[in-house]
Amino acid sequence: MAPDAEESGILKISKHVSYWRRNLKTYLPHHYTGTDSNRMLLAFFILSALDLLGDLDAALTDEERHEYVEWVYNCQIPDGGFRPSPGTYVGTARNQQNAVWDPAHIPGTFFSLLVLVLLGDDLKRVKRKETLIWLNRMQRPDGSFGETIGQAGRVEGGNDTRFGYMATGIRWILRGDIEGHVDDVPDIDVDKFVQCVRDSETYDGGISEAPFHEAHAGFACCAVSALALLDRLPVQTSQQKDQRLRGITDLPSTLHWLVSRQTLTLEEGEEDEGEQNGDANPSKGAQSQQDLSMVGMNGRCNKIADTCYAYWVCAPLDVLGHLHLVDTQRIRLWLLDMTQHFIGGFGKLPGDPPDIYHSYLGLFTLAMFGEPRLKEADAALCISKAAKERIESLPWRKAIVEQKI
C-alpha cells in the first residue's frame, strides 16, 4: 500500500483538483443515491474542496456560478430555512396541508448558507428573520436540536450534537455570537444547549450523542465546535471569567481522550493482535518492531483508524488550542501514503476507492495542519479561513454584530 520512498509524503494536488472538478461537473454515480436526501452536504464538500485547493474560481464560469446560486435559492423554504435537496419539492402543488413533507432541514440550511458563501453570494436573499424564528422552533425543551419539524410541530431526528452544531453554525452565520434578541427575534436557549453538551460528556473524558452513550469523536467534534461558535468554551487563562455556563467540564480528561484516539492499528484484521490470550506487552509493540512513521486516528476506543477521524479528532484539538498534543507529521504521512488514492481523493481505509466524504475530511485535515499548497483552514466551521472572513465581512452581518458591541 505505502508508495515508494520518492513518492512518499506528497499531496497529489493536480489529481485532487481533477477528482473534485469531476464531482462538480458530472453526475455522481448512482451509488450516491443513499445521500440523495442530503445533496447540499455533497455540494458543500465539492465546492469547499475546490476552495481549499485554490481552484474554485478557475473551475466556475460566471454563468455556472449564477446558475448554482439559483439552484440553492430554489431550495429555500418560504417560511425560512432550506431543504437539503430538491427531492421533496412538489412545485406549484405545494400548499399548507402538504408543506410538512417538504420541511426546512437543519443540515440542509447550514450547508446551503455555506455553499452560497463559497459561490460568492452575499446571503441577502436568505429569509434571515424567518430562518431564525424557525431555528428557535427546532430546539427541544431539553436544549437539543432536531433535524426537521414534522407532524403536529414535533421536532424529528436524533437529539445528538450534530444537529446542535449545525444549528449553532446557522446562528453564527446569520447573527454572529452575540446573545439576546436580534431584530426582535429571540435567541436560542444557549444555556440549555450548553447543558446538553455537558450532560453528554462521558466517564472516559469523551463526548457522546446523549448522556451515558458511548464517547465518539464525531459527537465530540460537533460539541466542541458548537461551543466555540457560541463562545462558550472553557475560559483561557488570558480571558476574563464571567457568569455564563460553559461546556467541557473536565478539559484535561477530554484532551486525554482525544489524544488516545491515535492508533497504530491502520488496517482491518490487526485489531486484536497480541491481546487475545492476554499476553500483551506494550514495549514489544511500541518500541522496536512497530513502524512509528505513520499514526492513524480512530473514532472510538479500540476501533481501527479511518480517514475521517483525522478530522473528527484533530478539529476539536485545534479548536481547543491543543493541536500540538498530537504528531501532525505522522498523521499527515498516514493520510498521504495510506488512504490518499492515486486518482485523487481519499478512501476510508488503505486501498479503498475515494468517496466525497472521506476525500473532503482528509483534505481538510491536511489544510488544518498547514499543508503549504492548501488554503488555511478554520476547524470549527470546516471551511477555509478566507471563506469564514467573507462571512464576517458581509455588510448586513457586520451591522448586526457591531450594533451590539
Q: Are the C-beta atoms of residues 227 and 201 closer than 8 Å to each other?
A: no
CB-nearer residue toward other proteins: 175 or 261: 261
Q: Which segment (2-10, 46-54, 193-201, 305-313) binds Zn ion by CB under 5 A?
A: 305-313
Q: Which of other proteins, Zn ion, none has residue 396 at its interface (CB below 5 to 8 Å by kind)?
A: none
Window 327-356: contact mask with Zn ion (x via CB under 5 A): ---------------------x--------
Q: Which of Zn ion, other proteins, none has residue 306 at its interface (CB below 5 to 8 Å by kind)?
A: Zn ion
Q: Which of Zn ion, other proteins, none has residue 195 at its interface (CB below 5 to 8 Å by kind)?
A: none
The radius of gyration computed from the CA coordinates of the chain, to the nearest angstrom, equals 22
Q: Which of other proteins, Zn ion, none has residue 274 at its interface (CB below 5 to 8 Å by kind)?
A: other proteins
Q: Which of other proteins, Zn ion, none has residue 308 at its interface (CB below 5 to 8 Å by kind)?
A: Zn ion
Could you tell me the smallest distance in angstroms from the CB atom of residue 194 to other proteins? 21
Beta-bridge partner residues of 145 = 139
Contacts of 226 (CB under 8 A, 6+ apart): 161, 164, 165, 167, 168, 169, 193, 197
How is residue 112 written as a grid cell? 446551503
Q: 70: buried, middle or exposed (CB in 10 Å: 19+, 13-18, 0-12)?
A: exposed
CB-nearer residue toward other proteins: 110 or 397: 110
CB-nearer residue toward other proteins: 96 or 243: 96
CB-nearer residue toward other proteins: 173 or 305: 305
Could you tell me the smallest distance in angstroms from the CB atom of residue 87 to other proteins? 6
End-to-end CA distance of the chain: 55
CB-nearer residue toward other proteins: 358 or 397: 358
Q: Which of other proteins, Zn ion, none has residue 217 at its interface (CB below 5 to 8 Å by kind)?
A: none
51 lies in the binding site for Zn ion (CB under 5 A): no
Q: Which of Zn ion, other proteins, none has residue 264 at its interface (CB below 5 to 8 Å by kind)?
A: other proteins
Angstrom distance (rounded) from CA 33 to CA 87: 11
Angstrom distance (rounded) from CA 282 to CA 275: 10
Angstrom distance (rounded) from CA 359 to CA 245: 36
CB-nearer residue toward Zn ion: 82 or 311: 311
- Residue with nearest beta carbon to Zn ion: 308
CB-nearer residue toward Zn ion: 194 or 266: 266
Could you tell me the smallest distance in angstroms from the CB atom of residue 351 to other proteins? 20
For residue 330, the Cα-to-chain-centroid distance in whole angstroms is 22
Cα–Cα separations (whole angstroms), residue 344 to 53, 358, 371, 383: 12, 11, 16, 20
Angstrom distance (rounded) from CA 209 to CA 161: 6
How is residue 23 written as a grid cell? 464531482
Residue closest to 183 by CA, chosen among 110, 137, 132, 229:
132
Could you tell me the smallest distance in angstroms from the CB atom of residue 401 to other proteins? 29
CB-nearer residue toward other proteins: 330 or 385: 330
CB-nearer residue toward other proteins: 229 or 308: 308
Using CB under 5 A, pick the residue from 52, 56, 188, 308 that binds Zn ion.
Answer: 308
DSSP 112-161: HHHHHHHTT---TTS-HHHHHHHHHHTB-TTS-B-SEE-GGGPEES--SH
Angstrom distance (rounded) from CA 328 to CA 282: 23
227 lies in the binding site for Zn ion (CB under 5 A): no
Could you tell me the smallest distance in angstroms from the CB atom of residue 311 to other proteins? 18
Cα–Cα separations (whole angstroms), residue 115 to 5, 361, 401: 39, 16, 22
Angstrom distance (rounded) from CA 37 to CA 33: 8
Q: Which of other proteins, Zn ion, none has residue 324 at its interface (CB below 5 to 8 Å by kind)?
A: other proteins
Q: Which segment (64-72, 130-138, 182-190, 298-306) binds Zn ion by CB under 5 A?
A: 298-306
306 lies in the binding site for Zn ion (CB under 5 A): yes
Could you tell me the smallest distance in angstroms from the CB atom of residue 307 to Zn ion? 6
Name the residues that contact Zn ion, by CB under 5 A.
Answer: 306, 308, 348
